[in-house]
Amino acid sequence: MRQGNDTLISEFLLLGLSEEPELQPLIFGLFLSMYLITVLGNLLIILAVSSDSHLHTPMYFFLSNLSLVDICFTSTTVPKMLWNIQTKSKAITFKGCITQLYFFLLFAGLDDFLLAVMAYDRYVAICHPLHYMVIMNPRLCGLLVLMSWIMAVLNSLAQSLIVLRLSFCTDLEIPHFFCELKEVVQLACSDTFLNNMVMYFITVLLAGGPLAGIIYSYSKIVSSIRAIPSAQGKYKAFSTCASHLLVVSLFYCTSIGMYLSSAAAHSSHSSAAASVMYTVVTPMLNPFIYSLRNKDIKRALKKFFVMAGTKGTSILR
């Protein structure tokens, strides 16, 4: 990629959330804490599911995949931000920016697809309970996750490749804490019509499609729950999908809020601050949402820690 004066671009500058020096230690401590909580919380979900044979079901298989994706999603942006604050540098290489952009789009897309797959899983469990294990067999579960990966990879690859065709001017400052697609495209000197069309088309297609699937699944779920005669039966059916519904609401509300604020905000730093909810806070809250109301996860975690404590005592002896 070339600048307007026909010299090669070596790096972009990430301006971060604030340029005030006195705020940098606070931002560093806050984001480091949130990142560690995100990684630890999602790792515990993965360990709980993998260590307890009672959780080897489609629902928890998808949940462990979502936890892994959330760890990777946060890891594409926060460590680089922390490194820049610690070294008092704002630079990110051009290759590093495109790489970060690629993986950010990949894991954001995977989050989207996995939430839709989990909605389908809840639909089958509540609307077709007698055929649940037949329909949601291991082969189908693996195929759904594989298709989610394939579509997410194709999406991120397509959007990253068309950024490579752009030429950039001398202003290489990105008013964000990571290489966000829209911000990078706006820095280009060349025509960005194709980029914008592809960006909006893919966003509508790949975000609207899973969202439509989620809405359809839950419309059927609500109809099935309303047909249950007893209040206890209704509560039991609803409780199986309450956590997922809360995570879906959090994911879409924060992501839509980020893009609306990006379009309406007069300050780019305001848009960057809004994206924190989508990129950092949501992956951090997901483990709490799934574990606090889930007796199976709590039991599995307790069993895991008891086993770990027993093994540690045996080793010491």
CA 259 remoteness from chain centre? 15
Q: Is 287 within 8 Å of 41 (Cβ atoms)?
A: yes
Q: Is 135 within 8 Å of 128 (Cβ atoms)?
A: yes
Instruction: Give the Cα separation of 211 and 205 in Å (integer).
Output: 10
pTM value is 0.89
Tokens of 180: 């966000």
Domains and CATH numbers, the chain: 11-312 (1.20.1070.10)
Instruction: Give the Cα separation of 176 and 183 in Å (integer).
Output: 8
* Neighbouring C-beta atoms of residue 206, cutoff 10 Å: 19
Run of H or E including 174: strand 173-174
Location of structure tokens 């540098």: 89
Phi-psi region of 198 (alpha: psi -120 to 50; beta: other; left: phi over 0): alpha
Instruction: Give the Cα separation of 86 and 214 in Å (integer).
Output: 41
Q: Provide the pLDDT for residue 212.
A: 92
Give 76's DSSP letter. T
Instruction: Give the Cα separation of 27 and 93 in Å (integer).
Output: 23
Cβ neighbors of 178 (< 8 A, separation 6 or more) are: 14, 76, 77, 80, 81, 100, 104, 279
Residues (pLDDT < 50) of the chain are 1-7, 266
Instruction: Give the Cα separation of 283 and 285 in Å (integer).
Output: 6
Tokens of 254: 């924060």
Q: Is 67 within 8 Å of 288 (Cβ atoms)?
A: no
Q: Provide the pLDDT for residue 143.
A: 97
Q: What angle do CA 31, 37, 41 make, to 5 degrees?
A: 150
Q: Provide the pLDDT for residue 206.
A: 81
Instruction: Give the Cα separation of 298 and 292 in Å (integer).
Output: 8
Q: Which tens digit of pLDDT belongs to each residue from 11-38? A: 888 888 877 888 889 999 999 999 999 9
Q: Which tens digit of pLDDT belongs to each residue from 252-271? A: 887 777 766 655 554 555 66
Write the burial class of residue 22 (CB in 10 Å: 0-12 exposed, 13-18 middle, 19+ buried): exposed
Task: Provide the edge-to-edge strand list for the sheet that holds 91-93.
Answer: 91-93, 11-14, 173-174
